[in-house]
Amino acid sequence: MKKNIIEVDKLNFAYERGHMNVLEQVSFSISENDFVGIIGPNGGGKTTLVKILLGLLSPQSGSVKIFGAMPGKNPHKIAYLPQQLVFDPQIPITVEEVVLMGCLGHRFIGLYTKKDHENAKKAMIKMNVLEYQNAFFSSLSGGQKQRVLIARALTCHPKILILDEPSAGIDTHHEQILLELLKNLNAEMSIVMVSHEYQFVSSLVDYVICINKDSHIHYPHEINEKNFQDIISKKYQYVAHDHEVKSK
């Protein structure tokens, strides 16, 4: 039986005391090597939930445990790739240098060990970007850059990888490459992916957590392209719960 590594129980959160909750009675668990999608409408609380899992925000009530501890207590076990991560194209930084940044920790730039270089190389191999290691990061396509940034996240050997819209701005060819690479990574770690892309979610995840203030767990066979779009456009509060669609 797989062990739970993320446990959220009756989570409530509001940005200001006395204001309406952004998240209300959210409960779910994620186990070792689960591949989980987080979907829901804009403003439904997905980003807030991710920030709580990362320890950047604290809930007003309820509990959140990551590896049995409060969020933020095991930062080396969680890697996070935000939707937008901007590098100045004028800075002549190579792919290998970008990936090595994931090894920094509390050290200064440039003080990399032989082990760091080995970890960076392994991460580049996993994400199929080793051939670009000496190329300038700014010269890569959007899909190649995304894989490099995931490689950077992998250098710390995380047990949980959280991705925010990893397929955004990527063409179909690079999306398929990324899809296969993420499937392979899932054998080594749990992956939590926020996405608005139906095809990307339906072909990867074990189940989805629908976040629209509250939470509901659904499985890929319960969601189709139409009701998926209805969720993210806020036309439905949630879908396919016990095979019954309930609207507002």
Helix axes 142-154, 172-185, angle to 10 degrees: 20
Q: What is the sign of the dihedral through the CA atoms of 129, 131, 134 and 140?
A: negative
The pLDDT value given to residue 72: 86
pTM of the model: 0.86
Which residue ranges of the chain lie beneath pLDDT 70?
A: 18, 84-87, 105-110, 234-248
pLDDT at 30: 96
Which one-letter amino acid corresponds to residue 165?
A: E
Instruction: Give the number of C-alpha atoms closer than 13 A to the C-alpha of residue 217, restricted to the C-beta side.
Output: 11
Are 67 and 78 spatial neighbours (Cβ–Cβ below 8 Å)? Answer: no
Q: Which domains does the chain have, with CATH numbers?
A: 4-247 (3.40.50.300)
Within a 10 A sphere around the Cβ of 238, how many other Cβ atoms? 20
